[in-house]
Structure 1
């Protein structure tokens, strides 16, 4: 693995490991931004926290197949949480200590596709846009 992917992987491990712990430690903080159509929202918050921690751990292991599966899982997760991020932004829901401003929400929403790419690139599911041309 090249150094750029290794450091990106470490970033994902730290980010999703931390967010997973926060989901487990304070699930109530995430309930206000859950769309109404999500069943059992508290259980979903706890389950996503466990999944975030599990994928972060999988990214630490030396098995490329498991890392790829974790990358795909994180990419799908980033897509699945997008409705909650939109609700959070559009409805102006206050979730301290997160700033309730479009200076926060705008970049967060715009960064979501980058999160998908980051998970897939780091785990070698894709090489775009750095693939060597033949």
Structure 2
């Protein structure tokens, strides 16, 4: 693996570790963006955080890196409805509309980034 890709891998791993830990440190932020139709939002928030931590660590091990990358892709697809919901809520409140709108296509970039490690 070349140096640029290796640095990218470490950044991605740190990104998911930070995001996962944030689900436990600042759960209220994430609970606000979980759609109302999701059952047990607190449990789902902690579950997603735990998954992000495990996948972020998994990226660091060559033997399971591809599985972790596929897991990240699956997770990004699974949480996409929450990002749409967050955008809809932002539009309704008239706050953070541009930021939540930009976040939607960023999911595609994150999926591509993870795909690089499959």
Q: TM-score, normalised by structure 2?
A: 0.89
| Structure 2 counterparts to residues 83-122 of structure 1, below 5 A | 83-92=81-90, 100-121=95-116
Q: TM-score, normalised by structure 1?
A: 0.79
Q: Deviations over 1:31-60 (max 9, x none)?
A: 121112211111010011111111111112
Q: Distance in 2 between matches of 1:27 and 1:105?
A: 18
The size of the alignment, in residue pairs, is 115
The residue aligned with 2:16 is 16
- Mind listing any 5+ residue stretches in structure 1 that lack a counterpart? 94-99, 126-134
Query: How much is the aligned-residue C-alpha RMSD, in angstroms?
Result: 1.5
The residue aligned with 1:77 is 75
Q: Distance in 2 between matches of 1:120 and 1:103?
A: 27
Instruction: Say if 2:90 and 2:100, in contact at 8 Å, map to a contact too.
Output: no
Could you tell me how far 1:4 is from its partner in structure 2? 2.8
Q: Distance in 2 between matches of 1:76 and 1:39?
A: 19
- Mind listing any 5+ residue stretches in structure 2 that lack a counterpart? none
Deviating beyond 4 angstroms after TM superposition, the runs of 4 or more aligned structure 1 residues are none
Instruction: Say if 1:31 and 1:42, in contact at 8 Å, map to a contact too.
Output: yes
| Structure 2 counterparts to residues 31-70 of structure 1, below 5 A | 31-63=31-63, 66-70=64-68
Q: Distance in 2 between matches of 1:119 and 1:42?
A: 27
Q: Greater helix percent: which structure?
A: 2
Could you tell me how far 1:120 is from its partner in structure 2? 1.2
